[in-house]
Amino acid sequence: MSPRLVGSGAVALLILGLAVYGGNQVVRVTQLRQQLDAMERDIVTLRARAEELTRTVDRLRHDPVYMEKLAREEFGYVRPDETVLKFPSTGRAAPAK
């Protein structure tokens, strides 16, 4: 074999190797960019949730009307002078008499 033919074959193998390796890297970079985009969307969502929770904590610390509303809705608290009326749920019909 001539040295020129061997050199050309080596160059061809080198180019082929770089093409395959480079193609794999392009796919990897694309995957990493997609992951980065997803993480950035998650960060935006989590920051919004953190702001919402911060506002709720602030209201719990400084807004007695909000605290009373939560106590009534979540725990069924009533004032001592109030009368509680309980109605059957609307999902079921009242039993026949």
pLDDT tens readout for residues 56-79: 999 999 999 999 999 888 888 888
Is residue 15 in a domain? Answer: yes
Is residue 86 in a domain? Answer: no
% residues pLDDT > 90 (the chain): 39
Is residue 81 in a domain? Answer: no
Q: Write out the residue range of the structural domain in which residue 56 sits.
A: 3-75
Report the chain's mean pLDDT, rounded to a whole number: 84
Q: How confident is the model at residue 78, as a pLDDT?
A: 86
- Model's pTM, two decimal places? 0.53
Q: How confident is the model at residue 50, as a pLDDT?
A: 98
Q: Mind listing the pLDDT tens digit for each residue in 3-44?
A: 777 677 777 777 777 676 666 777 788 899 999 999 999 999
Decide if 35 contacts 43 (C-beta within 8 A). no
Distances 5 to 11, 17, 80 between C-alpha atoms, Å:
10, 18, 101
Count up the domains in the chain and report the number: 1
